[in-house]
């Protein structure tokens, strides 16, 4: 296996070192992790080669780090790093001598598991007879050295694509089975990286035979398979010490923190599929070159075409499978036309496949967040930016876990100043609070805040609007404390904690119809939801609002109700329990109003706020209309003091209304809802 | 067409207009298959290779070169009437070639700059693709054309099927070969993303940007690529990148025009000057 005198000497030397190391350490520890000195990395390469494998690893070639054969450690990119951004890649020298401190280059392991050109068969015709001779499967025995977390995830995705269904690709299977995987945890990140968003890295989570984490003096090593353990037993390793383990974990953790979460993926599938008609597809197409570089560097893109080469007589033809992509003109062409003729169609096909329909087909995103498509796009189109622009998260803070209250402890209140107070009805007013903590900017519709005034008990109040620099709270003078707050007047300060609780899951309504049913002050917690809908109106189907009040003068936000109906294409239906001389609309309970309307709920999501009995009746009606209980959402009122699930007041069966709610689906609530005395 | 019968050989003519003859040589370069070609086709007109001539008609006429003189304009119309299938071969016949750069310049000035006695030169003010004069059944692109594509075209004519020639950017061949992108990794301007493949990504394989010999690919977004080139470059320099063998092909033509056209400046860089020693 070893060629050249120097390599042979190196091997002899390393064998001696290894023997000494093994003698010194007596036996390898039973449980990992282990530590492989940098000087002994050559032993790993040699052992892989001794197994009859060609080792493929990172090398500097033509101004980038690519994957090709390595025979000695000196082939590896010692001290090389890279500078990357959208449409940009440059090699750079590092201050250290690390071997694996580079980021993803243009090459991926796809080239070895799914090569660009693979012979398929040779067809022959003699007289009236035809034969097809399949090309033999002859996969090379390879070892992949330096596979990163995102790349392992990509191999896993291609496994699902090629091997996961009833029909499988035998060429891929053979190549994959013949490859040994030495993974390396990332201890560096580029601005193009977003594995953290896609949940694929930086830490290796499986699919490897061995995994290394590089430190200056060597590698922390773990086995991930029987074959890996077998090889490890032949390496001169010692037990990693606590310091080495700690430093390795720290280096990986630092990478994760550096990358952050550049592409929030919550609800992305639905968000994106609701945007088939977005004008932005045409806008991207003005920049997109349709050169397919994004898909070629993508480690998961798997499309191909079959090309034939025949002799002039048509007696012999050779077929090959070649990489092909949804950006080429022939990809969706049939006799007489092309199903995806426009650039916008092709880009939309690619992006919606990677980030939405791939999930329907294979159960995962078609993206691992390696960032290659960002760096290697000649005109620097960044999928993360395009996705955030075409299908933005509905709130800047989509995961409930990230929406931490401004002051978690009930003892810590920030102060906010009342900028103005607006009277809505006889006993309801809206406070406009300015100078609120910036965390409120990322609050979700349906969340609430705790407000406090010394000497009064704290009050949980739904947030009735998010402003760029403040919030609105619509308050009914239901008791002495709320009455006192309304009397404070502009300029006064309040204690404020929040935003607290869950919000309305508007994500689930994208691409569907929306029905909102509420009465009286129940409209207040729904107003931010309606704001969010009107801001992105095309993303929803028919939107209906049923709103009831005791009398016409008890209706909140009268001018806004008109505006929503007039400007935002929301079907607003109003009713009152008792009319007055000017009321021309229906009289009766909102539930009756709602029952009389004719509409189909099978595509709808329901949002309901009101007294519990009303919500229960409404939910039943909605279910009769075809809404399942996991698509009907209600918001509950309970005695809340801490707002974070610690004080116990608001418990309702297994739930705390403050932290598990106040918004729940009917499915979540189950039998506790509407039951007296819970 | 039935495969079992021994059909009469198809008659083939190969003619040229304003061009360098390189594309015709691609046929002669099909060394291993040349015997197959002559067994299958009766090459009746090929002045580049044979003294025996035929006035037609032809089953297949391969046409090299741009239409650059009044005589050529007459001749192509006449040839078209004698050809069952007319195929242009190469950048000159398909896009006007390098000599089409004069289409942006003053004709008299170009003649004076190139020839010692311009009064003897009877050329048209423009060099134009064959397609602008007669109906063309198929075009082979490139400067020169790709032998495999020529072979495939001949096979498709012989077998009566569509030629299987991929319509895609040079980038696809480039990445299939495993090249590192010169545009992204070194900032070298490269027309590969907007150029039709066929050369096997020859220039990028040797570390050079693509010159666009094969002309714009289907739906080529030359504007976006030109916009990206404008970062750190003068418009005239960006225009020059597109002003090669296929400059006269849209949308490259519009980019060249918008970036200021082509100036004739005998003291300027060679690429801004008209082609030397043209056939017209």
Q: Are β-strands A414-423 and A428-434 bridged in parallel, bridged antiparallel, or unpaired?
A: antiparallel
The answer to whether A657 and A673 have CB atoms below 8 angstroms apart is: no
The whole domain housing A146 covers: 5-113+135-259
Among A259, A283, A299, which residue terminates a domain?
A259
What are the chain B neighbours of A291 within 8 Å (beta carbons)? 169, 171-172, 192-194
Residue A608 to residue A632: CA distance in whole angstroms: 8
CA distance B121 to chain A (A): 42
Query: Which one of B3, B151, B169 has the shortest CB-CB distance to A291?
Result: B169
Q: How confident is the model at residue A467 (pLDDT cuts 50, 70, 90)?
A: confident
Q: Is A383 part of a structural domain of the chain? A: no
Contact B178 A289 (CB under 8 A): no
The whole domain housing B76 covers: 10-159
Residue A410 confidence (pLDDT) above 70: no
Q: Is B279 part of a structural domain of the chain? A: no
Instruction: Write out pLDDT tens, residues A524-535.
Output: 999 999 999 988
Nearest CA in chain B to A66: B180
Instruction: Write out pLDDT tens, residues A477-532.
Output: 888 888 888 888 888 888 888 888 889 998 888 888 999 999 999 999 999 999 99
**What number is the average pLDDT over the span B15-20?**
97
The answer to whether B11 and B58 have CB atoms below 8 angstroms apart is: yes
Contact partners, residue A444, CB within 8 Å, separation at least 6: A394, A395, A397, A403, A499, A502, A503, A504, A528
The answer to whether A432 and A418 have CB atoms below 8 angstroms apart is: yes
Among A500, A535, A562, which residue terminates a domain?
A500
Q: Percent of chain A having pLDDT more than 70? A: 92
Q: At B66, phi and psi to the nearest 5? A: -90, 165
Report CA-CA distances (Å) from A627 to A385, A442, A511: 35, 29, 15
The pLDDT score that the predictor gives to residue A316 is 94
Backbone Cα Rg of chain B = 20
Among B159, B185, B202, which residue terminates a domain?
B159
The pLDDT score that the predictor gives to residue A474 is 95
Among B97, B124, B159, which residue terminates a domain?
B159
* Upper half-sphere CA count for residue A514 (Cβ side, 13 Å): 28
Contact B180 A307 (CB under 8 A): no
Residue A364 to residue A347: CA distance in whole angstroms: 20
Residue A365 to residue A351: CA distance in whole angstroms: 11
Q: Is B3 part of a structural domain of the chain? A: no
Same domain, A145 and A102: yes
Dihedral sign for Cα atoms in the order A160, A166, A170, A174? positive
Q: Is B280 part of a structural domain of the chain? A: no
Same domain, B200 and B238: yes
What are the chain B neighbours of A323 within 8 Å (beta carbons)? 172, 175-176
Residue A53 to residue A44: CA distance in whole angstroms: 12
Query: Which one of B176, B177, B193 has the shortest CB-CB distance to A289?
Result: B193
Same domain, A465 and A602: no
The answer to whether A561 and A588 have CB atoms below 8 angstroms apart is: no
In this prediction the ipTM stands at: 0.90
Q: Is B275 part of a structural domain of the chain? A: no
B135 token code pair: 């109906």
Contact partners, residue A447, CB within 8 Å, separation at least 6: A403, A462, A463, A498, A499, A500, A501, A502, A503
Same domain, B198 and B145: no
Same domain, B185 and B224: yes
Look at A213-227, A581-595, B172-186 and tell me which has the smallest mean pLDDT.
A581-595
Same domain, B99 and B135: yes
Strand partners, B67: B128
The pLDDT score that the predictor gives to residue A567 is 85
Q: Is A316 part of a structural domain of the chain? A: no
Residue B16 confidence (pLDDT) above 90: yes
Same domain, A20 and A49: yes
Nearest CA in chain B to A376: B184
Same domain, B43 and B106: yes
Q: Is A317 part of a structural domain of the chain? A: no
Q: At A515, phi and psi to the nearest 5? A: -125, 125
Look-up of token digits 């291993």: B32
Instruction: Write out pLDDT tens, residues A257-282.
Output: 999 889 989 889 988 998 988 999 99
Same domain, B131 and B152: yes
Same domain, B64 and B147: yes
Nearest CA in chain B to A83: B185
Residue A331 confidence (pLDDT) above 60: yes
Query: Which one of A106, A311, A312 has the shortest CB-CB distance to B181?
Result: A106
Helices A383-390 and A280-287, axial angle in degrees (round to 10): 160
Candidates A56, A291, A338, A346: best to mutate against B (most CBs of B within 10 A) is A291
Residue A460 to residue A482: CA distance in whole angstroms: 10
Q: Is A330 part of a structural domain of the chain? A: no
* Upper half-sphere CA count for residue A360 (Cβ side, 13 Å): 8
Dihedral sign for Cα atoms in the order A417, A423, A427, A428? negative
Same domain, A198 and A248: yes
The answer to whether A101 and B223 have CB atoms below 8 angstroms apart is: no
Same domain, A579 and A481: no
Number of domains in chain A: 3
Same domain, B98 and B179: no
Q: How confident is the model at residue A599 (pLDDT cuts 50, 70, 90)?
A: confident
Q: Percent of chain A having pLDDT more than 90? A: 60
Residue B212 confidence (pLDDT) above 50: yes
Find, among A552, A595, A621, the residue nearest to A561 by Cα: A552
Report CA-CA distances (Å) from A151 to A73, A101, A318: 22, 15, 33
Task: Provide the H-helix boundaries in A188-341.
Answer: 195-198, 226-232, 242-259, 268-273, 280-287, 293-297
Candidates B38, B179, B185: best to mutate against A (most CBs of A within 10 A) is B185
Residue B158 confidence (pLDDT) above 70: yes
CATH number at residue B98: 3.40.50.700
**What number is the average pLDDT over the span A135-162?**
96
Straight-line distance from the first to the last Cα atom of chain A, in angstroms, rounded to the nearest whole number: 76
Helices B222-229 and A280-287, axial angle in degrees (round to 10): 60
Same domain, B148 and B32: yes
CA distance B87 to chain A (A): 18
Q: Is A337 part of a structural domain of the chain? A: no
**What number is the average pLDDT over the span B185-189?**
95
Contact B155 A379 (CB under 8 A): no
Dihedral sign for Cα atoms in the order A90, A93, A96, A97? positive
Residue B280 confidence (pLDDT) above 60: no
pTM of structure? 0.71
Find, among B243, B213, B236, the residue nearest to B104 by Cα: B243
Backbone Cα Rg of chain A = 32
Candidates B175, B231, B241, B242: best to mutate against A (most CBs of A within 10 A) is B175
What are the chain A neighbours of B184 within 8 Å (beta carbons)? 87-89, 106, 375-378
Same domain, A13 and A56: yes
Same domain, A216 and A92: yes
A63 touches chain B (CB under 8 A): yes
What are the chain B neighbours of A287 within 8 Å (beta carbons)? 221, 224
The helices-and-strands tally (H runs, E runs) of chain A is 22, 30
Number of domains in chain B: 2
SS3 of A364, please? coil
SS3 of B203, please? helix
Look-up of token digits 């020639």: B165
CATH number at residue A462: 2.40.30.10
Q: Which of residues 474-533 of A touch B (CB under 8 A)?
A: none
Find, among A380, A619, A564, A291, the residue nearest to B222 by Cα: A291
Q: Is B248 part of a structural domain of the chain? A: yes
Among B139, B159, B179, which residue terminates a domain?
B159
A92 touches chain B (CB under 8 A): no
Q: Are β-strands A129-134 and A117-126 bridged in parallel, bridged antiparallel, or unpaired?
A: antiparallel
Same domain, B179 and B234: yes
Same domain, B77 and B209: no
The answer to whether A143 and A55 have CB atoms below 8 angstroms apart is: yes
Q: How confident is the model at residue B7 (pLDDT cuts 50, 70, 90)?
A: low
Three-class DSSP labels, B116-181 = CCHHHCCCCCCCECHHHCCCCCEEECECCECHHHHHHHHHHHHHCCCCCCCCCEHHHHHHHCCCCC
Instruction: Write out pLDDT tens, residues A12-71.
Output: 334 444 444 444 443 444 567 999 999 999 999 999 999 999 999 999 999 999 999 999
The pLDDT score that the predictor gives to residue A637 is 83
Find, among B8, B9, B181, the residue nearest to A373 by Cα: B181
Q: Is A127 part of a structural domain of the chain? A: no
Residue A303 to residue A319: CA distance in whole angstroms: 16
CA distance B127 to chain A (A): 29
The answer to whether A454 and A535 have CB atoms below 8 angstroms apart is: no
The answer to whether A442 and A450 have CB atoms below 8 angstroms apart is: no
Contact partners, residue A559, CB within 8 Å, separation at least 6: none
Same domain, B202 and B120: no
SS3 of A213, please? strand
Instruction: Write out pLDDT tens, residues A627-677.
Output: 889 999 999 888 777 777 777 777 877 788 888 889 999 988 877 677 666
């Amino acid at each position: 296996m070893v060629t050249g005198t120097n390599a042979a000497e190196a091997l002899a030397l390393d064998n001696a070192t290894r023997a000494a190391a093994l003698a010194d350490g007596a036996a390898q520890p039973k449980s990992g992790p282990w530590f492989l000195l940098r000087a002994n990395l050559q032993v790993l390469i040699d052992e892989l080669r001794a197994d009859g494998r060609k080792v493929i690893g990172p090398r500097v070639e033509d101004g980038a780090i690519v994957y090709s054969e390595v025979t000695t450690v000196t082939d590896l990119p010692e001290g090389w790093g890279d500078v990357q951004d959208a449409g940009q890649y440059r090699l750079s020298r590092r201050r250290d001598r690390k071997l694996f401190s580079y980021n993803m280059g243009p090459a991926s392991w796809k080239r070895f598991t799914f090569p660009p050109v693979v012979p398929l068969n040779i067809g022959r015709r003699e007289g009236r007879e035809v034969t097809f001779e399949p090309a033999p499967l002859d996969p090379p025995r390879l070892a992949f050295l330096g596979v990163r977390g995102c790349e392992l995830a990509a191999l896993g995705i291609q496994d699902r694509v090629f091997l996961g269904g009833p029909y499988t690709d035998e060429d891929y299977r053979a190549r994959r089975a013949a490859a040994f995987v030495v993974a390396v945890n990332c201890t560096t990140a580029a601005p193009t990286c977003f594995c953290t968003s896609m949940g694929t890295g930086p830490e290796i989570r499986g699919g490897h035979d061995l995994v290394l984490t590089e430190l200056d003096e060597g590698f922390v090593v773990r086995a991930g398979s029987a074959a890996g353990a077998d090889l490890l037993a032949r390496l001169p390793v010692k037990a990693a010490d606590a310091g080495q383990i700690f430093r390795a974990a720290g280096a990986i953790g630092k990478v994760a923190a550096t990358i952050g979460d550049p592409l929030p993926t919550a609800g992305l599938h639905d968000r994106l599929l609701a945007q088939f008609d977005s004008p932005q597809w045409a806008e991207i197409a003005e920049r997109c070159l349709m050169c397919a570089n994004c898909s070629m560097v993508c480690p998961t893109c798997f499309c191909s075409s079959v090309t034939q080469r025949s002799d002039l007589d048509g007696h012999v033809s050779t077929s090959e499978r070649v990489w092909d992509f949804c950006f080429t003109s022939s990809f969706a062409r049939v006799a007489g036309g092309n199903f995806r003729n426009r650039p916008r169609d092709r880009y939309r096909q690619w992006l919606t496949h990677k980030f939405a329909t791939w999930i329907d087909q294979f159960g995962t995103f078609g993206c691992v967040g390696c960032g290659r498509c960002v760096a290697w796009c000649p005109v620097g189109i960044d999928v993360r930016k395009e996705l955030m622009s075409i299908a933005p998260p509905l709130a800047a803070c989509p995961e409930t876990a990230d929406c931490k209250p401004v002051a978690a402890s009930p003892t810590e209140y920030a102060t906010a100043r009342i900028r103005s107070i607006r009277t809505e009805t006889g006993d309801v007013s809206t406070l406009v609070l300015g100078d609120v903590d910036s965390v409120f900017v990322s609050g979700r519709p349906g969340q609430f805040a705790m407000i406090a005034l010394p000497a009064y008990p704290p009050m949980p109040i739904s947030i009735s609007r998010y402003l760029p620099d403040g919030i609105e709270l619509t308050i009914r003078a239901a008791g002495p404390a709320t009455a006192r707050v309304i009397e404070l007047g502009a300029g006064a300060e309040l204690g404020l904690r929040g935003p607290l609780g869950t919000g309305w899951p508007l994500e689930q309504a994208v691409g569907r119809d929306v029905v909102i049913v509420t009465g009286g002050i129940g409209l207040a917690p729904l107003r931010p939801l309606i704001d969010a809908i009107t801001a992105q109106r095309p993303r929803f189907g028919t939107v209906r609002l049923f709103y009831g009040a005791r009398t016409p003068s008890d209706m909140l936000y009268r001018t806004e109700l008109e505006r929503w109906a007039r400007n935002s294409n929301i079907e607003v239906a109003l009713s009152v329990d008792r009319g007055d001389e000017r009321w021309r609309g229906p009289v009766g309970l909102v539930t009756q109003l709602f029952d009389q309307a004719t509409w189909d709920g099978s595509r709808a999501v329901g949002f309901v706020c009101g007294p519990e009995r009303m919500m229960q009746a409404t939910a039943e009606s909605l279910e009769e209309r075809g809404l399942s209980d996991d698509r009907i959402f209600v918001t509950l009122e309970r005695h809340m003091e801490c707002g974070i699930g610690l004080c116990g007041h608001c418990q309702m069966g297994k739930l705390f209304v403050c932290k598990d709610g106040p918004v729940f689906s009917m499915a979540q609530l189950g039998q506790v809802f509407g039951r007296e005395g819970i | 067409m039935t495969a079992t019968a021994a059909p009469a050989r198809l008659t083939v003519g190969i003619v040229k207009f304003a061009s360098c003859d390189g594309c015709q040589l691609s046929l002669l370069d099909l060394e291993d298959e040349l015997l197959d070609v002559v067994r299958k086709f009766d090459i009746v007109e090929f002045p580049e290779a044979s003294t025996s001539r035929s006035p037609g008609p032809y089953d297949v006429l391969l046409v090299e070169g741009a239409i650059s003189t009044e005589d050529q304009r007459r001749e192509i119309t006449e040839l078209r009437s004698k050809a069952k299938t007319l195929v242009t071969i190469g950048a000159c016949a398909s896009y006007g070639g390098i000599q089409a750069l004069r289409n942006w310049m003053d004709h008299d000035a170009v003649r004076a700059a190139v020839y010692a006695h311009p009064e003897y030169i009877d050329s048209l003010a423009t060099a134009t693709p064959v397609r602008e004069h007669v109906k063309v059944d198929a075009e082979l692109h490139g400067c020169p054309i790709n032998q495999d594509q020529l072979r495939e075209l001949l096979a498709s004519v012989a077998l009566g099927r569509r030629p299987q020639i991929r319509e895609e950017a040079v980038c696809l061949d480039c990445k299939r070969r495993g090249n590192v992108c010169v545009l992204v990794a070194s900032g070298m301007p490269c027309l590969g993303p907007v150029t039709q493949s066929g050369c096997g990504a020859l220039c990028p394989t040797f570390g050079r940007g693509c010159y666009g010999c094969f002309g714009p690919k289907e739906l080529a977004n030359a504007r976006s690529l030109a916009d990206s080139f404008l970062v750190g470059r003068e418009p005239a320099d960006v225009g020059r990148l597109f002003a090669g063998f296929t400059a006269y092909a849209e949308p490259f033509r519009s980019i060249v025009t918008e970036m200021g056209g082509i100036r004739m400046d005998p003291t300027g860089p060679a690429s801004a000057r008209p082609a030397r020693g043209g056939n017209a």
